[in-house]
Structure 1
């Protein structure tokens, strides 16, 4: 019995640029990747690139939005929600997801932290990164609220320190950083009951 191949339409020029940017910016940062390299990698003409993204900053903002959708929402938060059957288990599962991430060969750290540190808090891209980091705290605060923990916003700020700290520790080579953070996270949950 013959199988029929399903043809997938090729990505349009905007999407090809965004895919190239996602790969390059995630791996190497913003300043290290030039427009010419993005144009070459995406296979679009310079005029087409600038029609879709009038400036490199516009492309980086689109990349950050995509990163939140693909990584923060779909990988981290959705995976944690699937792994835990209670709100507390979902919170703790964030570090299980991190543990898997930290062991990946393509572990690149947190894009939002990287861009914030690379560009600074006063740069528009740094400010956008701060906003995305705040949304991560909102997800955590929502889990904390569902768990009935006291002061979900304060809890989320402390929890986020554990998240960011474990990412930095993993970047230093500590593959057990997520497990270490999870131990402290349990104490934080107990403190906010």
Structure 2
């Protein structure tokens, strides 16, 4: 692992665990075991580090979610949407789940570090595209509106899972999402 990757991984872990505001550069340098000059060679500012952390996180999530979707029958578009919900449900029960780093960035630092917004926007657009693609193939008429609504449900589930992951009954959520999609398909 390169020194840059070591810094990024350390920062990702610390930001995910503690938040962006409570973790300083000195702690990241100390825990990554690199010299201060090495840190600043790769990341001239905390804003640049956060942005790269969020880009990295976005890439990891897209790869992981993409792999989950790829396990589905390519013609079963409802199962592809369900795979996204199942992925989120599994994520809520991982040991390093501390909420969504994109949501945290928007809440904590987007005004101070506006560049932190772009990776969050990129992820939301990617997710919307995945949902739109499946919904379009299902024959839903108002694809984009429903995709945004489903994304909002996932956001709400994520917040609820931060409070208590056991309160997120994935079967119940999915049943309602499936009913909503069926209702949308029934609209002529």
Gaps of 5+ in 1: 1-10
Q: Could you tell me how far apart the structure 1 residues matched to 2:112 and 2:137 are?
A: 34
Match of 2:70 in 1: 81
2:181 aligned residue: 189
Out of 36, 39, 46, the position equivalent to 1:46 is: 36
Partner of 1:162: 153
Instruction: Give the conservation status (yes or no) of the 8 Å contact 1:109–1:167.
Output: yes
Question: How far off is 1:122 after superposition?
Answer: 7.6
TM-score (ref. length: structure 1): 0.84
Alignment match, 2:18: 28
TM-score of the two chains, using structure 2 as the length reference? 0.86
> With CA pairs under 8 Å and 6+ residues apart, which has the higher RCO, 1 or 2?
2
Equivalent pair of 2:93/2:165 in contact (CA under 8 Å): no
Which residue pairs with 1:3 in the alignment? none
1:110 aligns with 2:107: no
RMSD over aligned Cα atoms: 2.0
**What is the count of residue pairs matched by the alignment?**
182
Task: Compute the displacement of 1:191 (Å).
Answer: 2.7
- Counterpart Cα distance in 2 of 1:174 and 1:12: 35
**Alpha-carbon offset, residue 120 of structure 1:** 4.2
- From the two aligned structures, give the one with the greater helix fraction: 2
Match status 1:171 vs 2:167? no
Taking the aligned partners of 1:160 and 1:24, their CA distance within structure 2 comes to 26
1:4 alignment partner in structure 2: none
Aligned partners of 1:80 and 1:93 also within 8 Å? yes
Equivalent-residue separation in structure 2 for 1:29 and 1:64 (angstroms)? 13
**Residue pair 2:50, 2:116 contacting (<8 A) in 1 also:** no
Segments of 5+ residues of structure 2 without an aligned counterpart are: none
